[in-house]
Amino acid sequence: MNLFEFMYENRSELATQTLEHIGLTFGSLAVAVLLAVPLGVWIARRKGWANLTLGIAGVLQTVPSIALLGFLIPFLGIGAKPAILALFLYALLPILRNTYTGILSVDAAVKEAALGMGMTPRQVLLKVELPLAMPVIFAGIRTATVINVGVATLAAYIGAGGLGEFIFGGISLNNPNMISAGALLAAVLAIIFDQLLAFLNRTPLRRLVRTAIPVSAVVPFFALLYFVPQWSSSGLRIAFDPEFAGRTDGYPKLAALYKLNLNTKILNHGLLYRAAAEQEVDVICGYSTDGRIKAYDLTVLEDDKNAFPPYHCAPLIRKELADAHPELAQTLNLSAGRINDSTMTLLNYRVDFNQEKPEAVAKDFLQQLKLWKPNRKDGGEKLTIGSKIFTEQYILAHLFAQLIEGYTDFDVTIKTGLGGTKICFDALQKGAIDLYAEYTGTGFLVLLNPSQTEINQLITDGPALYDYVAKIFPEKYNLTWLQPLGFNNTYALIVKKELSVKEKLQQVSQLAKLQK
């Protein structure tokens, strides 16, 4: 499918996003003009404040946009409000600085003549300074507009819509058409508005003063466009990250299986949990063992129709080593089935939010299970445990290490931070590490590259999938899956606990009843 076919096919979504984009740009611009122009005039009068004010506006300009958006969520929630505030802050500096410069650059003789003829300071401002500074102020507004068209793509991170939805969705899904469609329209918008303002900027001063009034009326009109697509929305507020919303085993599969037709927003993955915690949205997507579920008092909806692929976690070990030392498998299987989803969530929570060390959390947990034993022997045979770079993997690596050192003579070292799946797996195959914690879904989908038929057969059945990878891996890679730990770290729909209690919402299939 080429780009234009794609755009034609998605024209209604693109139109919605374009309207939202224009609305966000001009909504923030209107607020920025209303504030920055008077402020610019004021600092032109009190030069002592000019450096401070321009300095603050300059600092705001340098705050990374995504950080700013994240910072605003606790105060303003998600959606248009924080997006417009952030865009407003970025538009502030160019308008402020140009107003200040414009007012200061008005010919001193003209101002002197105006005062000398008996104009009041207010008349001097309205009849002389502002009209004469207008071209410079306009240039500032033009700069701010172009900046805002660009930054407004980031509004998609906080559920405010706009063309960023396609751009970031396209990036997550590696879909060039989606990226290009969003980016192309954003670029076209930037060019149109820039040229429009450039045209106004070129019109002679005297006519410009007369056009300034209709133009300032058009800006709020454009801002209202934002709300056009939203008139139709109501019911449950649902937000997904771009990847989940787009990938075939994510929301599309869920929607088909459960017959859902939800009104969803797109939100940056890092902001989803916060948004649910602040009750800005009712349902989000996430991962079932994420520590934030516990931290923000959320709860996972049961995937009662098995829409999501199972990602049961189990130690993956070199077959030669496991065969040579059967005590290793015996030892590690002590923890098999002992960690369910909520236990893993709690362990993650302790590291992420209580700032405890993974090592200490692992030890504490083993002690609770009465499995912990002190190090049996120093200076024994070497064994290396790997981990990918996220909390759960760090905890599991330490848990395995403490078990092995307590029950066998091995001397364990841990290599954390081996990046993603591919790095851990290669390291294991080459013998650089001896074992790490892997997930069945990942082992199947990423490492085995199964055919579509195999996927369809196995992907919904957790135990069958484990049996399948446990059978294939020793033959194909000379690696052995030990027994699963119990939890399933997969996609999940997550809601606030209060809502779950209030609406008796525990399973995904119940969502269908709540949808409008």
Cβ closest to other proteins, residue 206 vs residue 430: 206
Q: How far is the CB of 224 from other proteins (least distance, A)?
A: 32
Nearer to other proteins, 1 or 108 (CB): 108
| Min dist. Cβ of residue 278 to other proteins (A) | 50
Contact predicate 186/167, CB 8 Å: yes
**Residue nearer to other proteins on the CB measure, 9 or 107:** 107
Q: Which is nearer to other proteins, 200 or 271 (CB)?
A: 200
| Residue (5 or 112) nearer to other proteins, CB | 112
Residue 298: which of 309, 284, 311 has the closest Cα? 284
Binding site for other proteins (CB under 8 A): 107, 109-110, 112-120, 123, 127-128, 131-132, 205-206, 209
Burial 33-54 (b: 16+ CB within 10 A, else e): beebbebbbebbeeeeebeebb
Strands 479-481 and 435-439: unpaired
How far separated are the first and last CA of the chain, in Å rounded? Answer: 33
Closest among 311, 239, 335 to 278, alpha carbons compared: 239
Nearer CB in complex with other proteins: 99/440:
99
Inter-residue contact 403 to 371 (CB < 8 Å): yes
The tokens of 411 are what?
């001397």
Nearest distance, CB of residue 204 and other proteins, angstroms: 9
Cβ proximity of 74 and 278 under 8 Å: yes
Determine the Cα angle at 67 with ends 62 and 69, to 5°: 105
303, 101 contact by CB (below 8 A): no
Give the residue with the Cβ less far from other proteins, 115 or 321. Answer: 115
Closest separation in Å from C-beta 130 to other proteins:
10
Which residues neighbour 403 within 8 Å (Cβ) at sequence distance 6 or greater?
A: 331, 332, 334, 335, 366, 371
